[in-house]
Copies of this chain bind each other. A is one copy, B any other.
Amino acid sequence: MFLKYENLQKTGAFKVRGALSKVYRLLQREKNIRGVVAASAGNHAQGVAYAASVFGIRCCIVMPETASISKVEATRSYGAEVVLYGRVYDEAEAKAREIALEHGYSFIHAFNDIEVIAGQATIAWELIEQLNDFDMVVVPIGGGGLASGILSVLKKVKPNVKVIGVEPSAAPKMLESIKAGKPVTIQVKPSLADGLVTKRPGDITFEIVSNLIDDIVVVDENEIALAIYLLLERAKVLAEGAGAASLAALISGKIATERKKVVALITGGNIDLTSLYRIIVRGLAVYGRIARLTVVLPDFPGTLRDVLEVIAKYRGNIVDIRHDRMATDVPWHARVEIVVEVPRKEVIEEIAKELRFRGYVVEKYSFED
């Protein structure tokens, strides 16, 4: 398996390829363009801002008010003017198109644009250059721009290479659209892979992807968390949810890869560090390495110490403790919730067993987030 690290790319994601391609072509057609404008809560924002700064043109990015601080600041740091507008992407896009008209700026769509797609396609050319011989590429699908670029090149130049798309179960818009035979708008849920949460594929990207892709698999939130966790623990690199989705699909076993040389595109690394903790904990939980243990203690001195002694005996490592003496359903007792890291999954059962043997009520233990 080969991982292509687009998280180590300028701006932290592959999106800069499409943005550079688009701005370059705009300038080839018209030397004196007024500026560019885009709407994005994510990596497209930074990509366009960076591309505009490279070519020295004005840039305005409209981001929904809910955009994370780090992404707003990163976009500003590339010299773009950031306008915070609307609650969701659609409102931000409407505003961006308004700004485009008002100032004569060129609007750059995040995926439904053949010149943006041509930029993402450079990844396929690089794969051919760097690896030459490979059997499969696994590619996450947000709006479908990346998949369209990869497919356009590979299905022409390397028709035997399989291209597999990955969507989060929170937003399987391409899969649903292919089933329907036309682009459809779906209900989406929040996802760790926020970069893949798009309600509807573009007309252009649907056309390309639906005709050329070999298969699309769906991954859930736990699989994405585990992939982020594994990349961090084992490979020492940081991927965002969307960036880890292709690896998530591979480790989930949903793709037949026997005796195949497989490339997973790690598409970006712009993840909110303040939320990374929850992802790590979830990854450890999926892995059976971190558990949540709820114990009811008689409310007198020494009982908590006794519980911690049992945990230490089995080499459990306390990550967090919440001690609730006000739980009204257990009068004269305290409920303690302990998040504990264990060497192996079975250890938590041994700990629970010994606690019960010592007379404590273990209400539950689980590997859930």
**A interface vs B, CB < 8 Å?**
7-8, 12, 68-70, 72-73, 229, 232-233, 235-239, 269, 273-274, 276-277, 280-281, 284, 289-290, 315, 317, 319, 326, 341-343
Most chain B beta-carbon contacts within 10 A, residue among A229, A236, A280, A290: A236
* Cα–Cα distance between A70 and B230 once the two chains are bound (Å): 13
Contacts of A233 in B (CB 8 A): 70, 273
B280 touches A7 (CB 8 A): no
* In the complex, chain B residues whose CB is within 8 Å of the CB of A237: 8, 236-238
Residues of B near A7 (CB, < 8 A) are: 236
- A69: which B residues are within 8 A, CB to CB? 289, 315, 317, 341-343
CB distance from A76 to the nearest CB of B (A): 9
- Is B280 in contact with A276, judged by CB distance below 8 angstroms? yes
A6 CB, nearest partner CB in chain B, Å: 10
| Complexed CA–CA distance, A277 and B282 (Å) | 13
Inter-subunit contact B277/A290 (CB<8 Å): no
Secondary structure dominating the interface of A = helix
CA distance A72 to B316 in the complex (A): 13
7 extra A-B contacts, CB within 8 A, seeds A69-B289, A72-B343, A237-B238: A8-B235, A8-B237, A69-B342, A73-B343, A237-B237, A238-B238, A274-B317
Q: How far is the CA of A229 from the CA of B276 in the complex (A)?
A: 12
A173→B24 CA distance, assembly (Å): 55
Sampled A-B contacts (12; CB under 8 Å): A8-B235, A12-B236, A69-B341, A70-B233, A72-B343, A73-B343, A233-B273, A236-B239, A237-B238, A273-B284, A274-B341, A276-B277
A69 to chain B, nearest CB (A): 5
Residues of chain B with a CB closer than 8 A to A326's CB = 326
> What is the chain B residue whose CB lies nearest that of A312?
B65
A73 CA to B229 CA, complexed, in Å: 16
Nearest CB in chain B to that of A243: its residue: B236
Docked complex Cα distance between A23 and B238 (Å)? 33
CA distance A12 to B232 in the complex (A): 11
* Chain B residues within an 8 Å CB radius of A319: 274
- Measured CB to CB, the closest approach of chain B to A322, in angstroms, equals 10
If A69-B341, A341-B69 touch, whether A8 touches B229 (CB-CB below 8 Å) is: no
Closest B residue by C-beta to A65: B315
- A284 vs B289: C-alpha distance when bound (angstroms): 27
Chain B residues near A289: list those with CB within 8 A.
69
A273 close to B229 (CB less than 8 A): yes
Q: Which residues of B contact A70 (CB under 8 A)?
A: 233
Q: How far is the CA of A233 from the CA of B240 in the complex (A)?
A: 11
